[in-house]
Amino acid sequence: MAAVEIIAAKRAGGRLAAEQWREFAEAAADGSWSDGQLAALLMAIAVVGLDVEETGWLVEAMAGTGGRIAPERFTRPAVDKHSTGGVGDKASLVVAPLAAACGLDVPMVSGRGLGHTGGTLDKLESIPGMRVTLSIDELVEVVGSAGCAICGASDEIAPADAVLYALRDATATVDSIPLICGSILSKKLAEGIGGLVLDVKCGSGAVFAEDAEAEALAGTLVSAGAAAGLSTVAMLTDMSRPLGETVGNAIEVVEALECLGGKGPGDLRELSLELVARMLVVGGVSPSTREGIDVATRALDAGHGFERFERMVLAQGGDAAVLSDPGRLLGEAEVAVVRATRGGFVRGLNALAIGQAAADLGGSRAGRGGEIDASAGVRIVAGVGSEVSEGDAVLELRSRDPRRLQGAAAAARSSIEIHDEPGVPRGLVLGTIDADSLSEST
């Protein structure tokens, strides 16, 4: 079918066949459709939607536009983890090396920050010399050396996604669930993995603030993954407040290293252990989540995850010496303190507002090609549940540009909720969705 016919069929609510999705994906990769035609079909997908089988075909088609790693190139079960994005979410920096220390190969293709949400690659680039652009062969080589690699999608991996992602941003179709699935899962299929664990965030700092929308995304991702032949499990986790006690780039790397050293904030440790445990189950290394948590806890407390992280940094050209010197990672910065305006209990720290403050401090790119201040960020001094008096420090803001501190302070201040009673914060892990639970619900 011609491009116009495919667009018209989907716009009218029709169901496209696998070969038509292949034509669309290949056209995005090779430029045989115009941007207008690609954008028109993206909008039709966003408005009309896709069923599970169609979403699976779209995922396969996008993955097929580039190279794919043969599973036998890995010597151990290959499993990955992916987060839908959040504020202070440095879990990938803990999960990848910890899972590697527990017997998995983890070829993790990650992304950069978008708006108020942080990017794993931006965080890693605060380590001097760290290379996050790897060819497929280099990715396999690093995994062979360290057990894990964290890098961006090269031109070899699902090239259709880079074209379509830019158009989604320009056409307000970023929140289309089938298109989110296509973007995430096409790159994961190309990794040659046998299993995937997803961290689907919900709350103010997530792509979907409402739990029902996040649950729908998780369910579709699991179903589409299964349709594409990839064993997939999704965890629903809270993103109404930041994860951990830091938001930024270098500052989050330091906190991740603390966690890998057996310390760090409790919520980051809890989430990382839960994610690794499910990866171990999906990869066939552990028979149950409970046993997986025990295995991961022992490896974390023994420092084996830190050792794997260090090996990964060295293999990707980074200066591993800075890992034991937080001062070198953080660099010099101006600091401003946001204080409590009244006494009481910190009931909430709005993740969206804190993420925006971190971006305003220089922690994200203002535009394409913009520079990031790796030292910029927010440190949470008084977390949710803390009792404070008027004038106590709640947040610390960091930036090399002192002019940014004043502007970011307004967003940071608006994030703080203080009440007379402490309240009961909701749990970190809100639920788990896998193929079995989807079958039971239907």
**CA–CA separation, 370 vs 132, rounded Å?**
17
Which of the residues 10, 81, 168, 379 is marked catalytic? 168
Is the predicted pLDDT of residue 153 greater than 90, yes or no? Answer: no
Distance CA 189, CA 211 (A): 27
Q: Which distant-in-sequence residues (6+ apart) come within 8 Å of 83 by Cβ?
A: 89, 91, 92, 198, 199, 201
Alpha-carbon gap, residue 295 to 78, rounded angstroms? 17
Q: Is 168 a catalytic residue?
A: yes
pLDDT, average across residues 131-143: 96
Question: Catalytic: 183?
Answer: yes
Q: What is the pLDDT of residue 85?
A: 87
Contact 310, 133 (CB under 8 A): no
Catalytic residue among 83, 126, 154, 183: 183
Which residues, at least 6 apart from 177, have a Cβ–Cβ distance to it below 8 Å?
49, 216, 217, 220
Alpha carbons within 13 angstroms on the beta-carbon side of residue 77 total 18
pLDDT in tens, 325-355: 988 999 889 999 999 999 999 999 999 999 9
Q: Which of 187, 304, 308, 398 is catalytic?
A: 187
Examine the pLDDT at 3 and tell me if it is beyond 60: yes
CATH classification of 71-324+429-441, choosing from 2.40.10.480, 3.40.50.300, 3.40.1030.10, 3.20.20.10? Answer: 3.40.1030.10
Kindly report, residue by residue over 218-268, the tens digit of the pLDDT.
999 999 888 888 899 999 999 999 999 999 999 999 999 999 999 989 999
Q: Has residue 304 got a pLDDT over 80?
A: yes
Location of structure tokens 């499910």: 278
Token digits of residue 99? 């899972």
Cα distance between the two ends of the chain:
35
For residue 81, indicate whether it is catalytic.
no
The class level of CATH for 330-419 reads: alpha beta
State what percent of residues in the chain have pLDDT above 70: 97
For residue 184, which of 26, 174, 101 has the smallest C-alpha distance?
Answer: 174
Query: Known catalytic residue: 161?
Result: yes
Q: Report CA torsion sign: 58, 64, 67, 69.
A: positive
Active-site annotation holder among 10, 80, 81, 82: 82
Pairing of strands 231-238, 429-433: antiparallel
Pairing of strands 387-388, 344-349: antiparallel
Q: Would you kindly state where each structural domain of the chain is located, as residue ranges?
A: 3-49, 71-324+429-441, 330-419
Structure tokens at 94: 């803990």
**DSSP notation for 332-372:** --EEEEEE-SSSEEEEEE-HHHHHHHHIIIIIS-SSTT---
Q: Determine which of 107-116, 126-135, 151-160, 220-229 has the lowest per-residue pLDDT on average.
A: 107-116
294 classed as catalytic: no
Q: Average per-residue pLDDT in the chain?
A: 93
pLDDT at 188: 93
The residue from 89, 161, 238, 434 that is catalytic is 161
Give strand pairing partners of 80: 196
67-84 pLDDT tens trace: 999 999 999 999 999 999
**In this model, does residue 154 exceed pLDDT 90?**
no
Burial 165-187 (b: 16+ CB within 10 A, else e): bebbeebebbebbbbbbbbbbbb
CB 79 within 8 A of CB 197: yes
Q: Is the pLDDT of residue 365 over 90?
A: no
Over residues 16-38, the mean pLDDT reads 96
Instruction: Give 284's Cβ-side CA count (13 Å radius).
Output: 7
